[in-house]
Structure 1
Amino acid sequence: MTTNSNSKKLVLVTGGSGFIAVHCILQLLEAGYQVRTTVRSLTREPDVRAMLKEGGFEAGDRLSFIVAELGSDANWIEAITGCTYVLHVASPTPLNQYEHEDEMIIPAREGVLRVLRIARKSGVKRVVLTSAVGAIVYGHKPQTIPFTEKDWTITTGDVPAYQKSKTLAERAAWDFIEREGDGLELSVVNPVGVLGPVLGPDYSHSIHFLKSMMEGKMPGCPKVNSSYVDVRDVADLHLRVMTEPAAKGQRFIATAGESIWMVDIAKILKQNMSALANKVNAKELPNTLVRIAALTNPVAKAIIPFLGKVMNTTNKKAVSMLGWSPRSTEEAITATAESLIRLGIVK
């Protein structure tokens, strides 16, 4: 695909100040597209431009900003009109304090449906929805075989509100396309824990725990198993999914490979960052200790359902169908740590 043909195409990226969104904008600009992005306030424009500059790109007038929020109709028609593609990356941030899970579920679901309705009316070719592995791996009995795109989180079980919101929003999107899509194409990317180069103050939840590890704020590693992926590869997958005809009506897990235990992350940091990781505690915490801590500590309490569970996923579909070739988990972990130190986020 040549840059020249892309220069006439406008792509909307929702939630432009977010970690994945900024990397998507960066790669779209590098591929020659015109980009429009939604933000909650235009005061975020300098932050987004600064993050892109940190990523090596001066966006200039090929990037424009518009204020639009998931919970409101305002400006969405203006945001989507004229776009060939929409990357719907925005999602309500996980709330630590909420009265009812609907505070996360309703905005996520209604936000997706609003974007799809207007995209259909505006003649958008394809919407790529950023869902999450949270819409795939929760509520199942323990299993050793990797989860695939055919799996769905069982929301009737004890599923955290954020993951439930991701599942129900994605379900609603597929239902909408089936019932009233009227030719609008939908594809979905389901990232696992997102790591990789931080470009500024906005970064993923997965990076917060890595930051805590490096700052010596974690007394050890709970026996928690997760899969990870580099944000640059997540953005690359969004672009592939956006234009590949075979990706229409498909969902793709974005994962670097095999899941690993938290203690493995600590060991990688110690090995690759040497003295810069001297505060990292690479000993595994007994489950009983985590359960005791959970009585008074909300962070420990949130971990309890995952203790000892293997949460493995596979990237075979994205690799075979789209030629996607992600960096290793070790590279993603190291790139994250290096960027946190370079930007002074970890002192």
Structure 2
Amino acid sequence: MANTPIKFAEPPKIPLGSLILVTGANGLIASHVADQLLAAGYRVRGTVRNKARCAWLESTFISRYGECRFELVEVSDLAAPGVWEGPVRGVAGIASVAGCADLMVSDVDEAVEQDLKGLFSLLATAKSESSVKSFVLTSSSWAAWTPEPNVPITVTVESWNEKAVTLAADVSVARETKGILPFMAVKVKVEKACWDWVAREKPGFTFNTILPDTTIGPILDARNQTASTSGMVMWLYNGEHLDILSGFVPQWCIDARDTGRLYVAALVTGVDGWRVFGCAERFSWNRVLDILKRVYPEKDFVDLSDNGDDQAEILSDKPLALLRAVGQDGWTSLEQSVKDAAASALSAAA
């Protein structure tokens, strides 16, 4: 599925050749957002915190799409006054992927405040720039629910992870036992605040959020790019950090290229007010291990303990509708994502 050429079911509301801003363009998700936009026929301006360290992005996209299609700009402080005026100037759409919060958040309110400073600044700048027609915010599936093995739950676009917010704020619970619940709480509060901003400010652009779960797939430049969750496939391959992987509860996953295509469709097809789950199929690291064993039968792998199965039912037809809008009939399988993640990492190491 992931290698199906993008073909719009209807003429896009934002014309091909228009300029789209992608923040945090060096990350796993954002780099695939940029890649899919370029493949669709758009131009991309990507922001990074350090342009010199991320120069590989320009060479990667030039090799794929030629000169004058991708522009790299530095935004070292997402919340600095006036920092978005230059990057936003002349763009037709914005994919806001960069975030401030670390996975192990120590202070939820402080992390929310820091994230919102940058996001409100970006949103306000976008509102004042007449060229901007669409804005897509990156949230997280964890903003909707906390994955729990073997616990049935129904998730809809109206779901919010209030459980994480409550537990993260509970002073009677030790910080070390909260795990990533504070990070989940940040995602809830930030996404809600941005929806509130849109309702209050009534900007002239469409606004949608994408809530990806564990993202796996090929790394665009495995020699230079941080692998993020795709790199965990190689932890299994190499028998590294198995304690971390064993503690990773079963949940849902999505191919990085499918994630990129959700952004393309949400940006340019005119949909508005959608929360879009990036959840293709149920996933566990034991399933990933089974795939690696089939793909590399000559290699010995260390087994993981069984930590159950995800039983969340996600009720939304919006994600597949967006994929169909760009010519893709269904999700890329976990098996294909794992194969391609491993292949990209191994080719870089060769």
Do the two structures share a fold, i.e. TM-score over 0.5?
Answer: yes
Give the Å deviation of 1:64.
1.5
State the TM-score, normalized to the length of structure 1: 0.81
In the TM superposition, residue 127 of structure 1 has moved relative to its aligned partner by 0.2
Match for residue 25 of structure 1 among 34, 56, 61: 34
- Whichever residue aligns with residue 274 of structure 2, its letter is Q
Deviation digits for residues 305-330 of structure 1 (CA, Å, limit 9, x no counterpart): xx776455456321146525220112
CA shift at 1:151, angstroms?
1.0
Contiguous gaps of at least 5 residues in structure 2 = 1-7, 169-179
Deviates more, 1:14-23 or 1:69-78: 69-78
Q: SS where residue 6 of structure 1 aligns?
A: coil
Shift of 1:191: 0.7
The alignment partner of 2:296 has SS state of helix
Aligned residue for 2:339?
334
- 1:284–1:197 Cα change, 3 Å: same
Q: Counterpart of 1:131 in structure 2: which amino acid?
A: S
User: Identity over aligned residues, as a percent?
Assistant: 24
8 Å CA contact retained: 2:147, 2:249: no
Aligned to 1:319: 320
Confirm or deny: 8 A CA contact 1:153 1:167 kept in the other structure.
yes
Give the Å deviation of 1:49: 2.2
**CA distance in 2 between partners of 1:94 and 1:311 (Å):** 25
Amino acid paired to 1:43 = A
Q: Which amino acid aligns with 1:250?
A: W
Q: How many residues align?
A: 317
Structure 1 pair 283–87 and aligned structure 2 pair: CA distance change class (3 A) = closer
Structure with higher RCO (Cα < 8 A, 6+ apart): 2
SS at match of 2:68: helix
Q: Distance in 1 between matches of 2:82 and 2:296?
A: 46
Greater mean alpha carbon deviation, residues 138-147 or residues 265-274: 138-147
Residue in structure 1 matched with residue 43 of structure 2 by the alignment: 34
- Native 8 Å contact 2:45 2:87 kept in 1: yes
Question: Equivalents in 2 of 1:51, 1:215: separation in Å?
Answer: 27
Tell me the TM-score normalized by structure 2: 0.81
Instruction: Tell me the residue number matched to 2:305.
Output: 284
Distance change (3 Å), C-alpha of 1:95 and 1:187:
closer
- In structure 2, the partner of 1:240 is 265
For the residues of structure 2 that align with 1:274 and 1:145, how far apart are their CA atoms? 36
- Among 279, 283, 292, the residue aligned to 1:269: 292
For 1:253-276, what per-residue CA distance to the aligned partner results, in whole angstroms no more than 9, with x for missing partners? 01222x13321221111112323x
Mark the runs of 5 or more structure 1 residues left unpaired by the alignment: 288-306
Distance 1:311 1:147 in 2: 7
**CA distance 1:101–1:151, change in 2 (3 Å):** same
Q: Residue type matched to 1:61 in 2?
A: C
Residue 132 of structure 1 corresponds to which residue in structure 2? 140
Deviation track 1:47-100 (CA, whole Å, cap 9, x = no partner) reads 2124436xx61442222222223232343111112111111111125254x652
Distance 1:62 1:242 in 2: 18
Give 1:129 shift: 0.9
Partner of 1:186: 207
In the TM superposition, residue 211 of structure 1 has moved relative to its aligned partner by 2.2
Among 108, 124, 147, which residue is 1:101 paired with? 108
Stretch of structure 1 that moved more, 266-275 or 79-88? 266-275
Structure 2 residue corresponding to 1:224, chosen from 224, 249, 263: 249
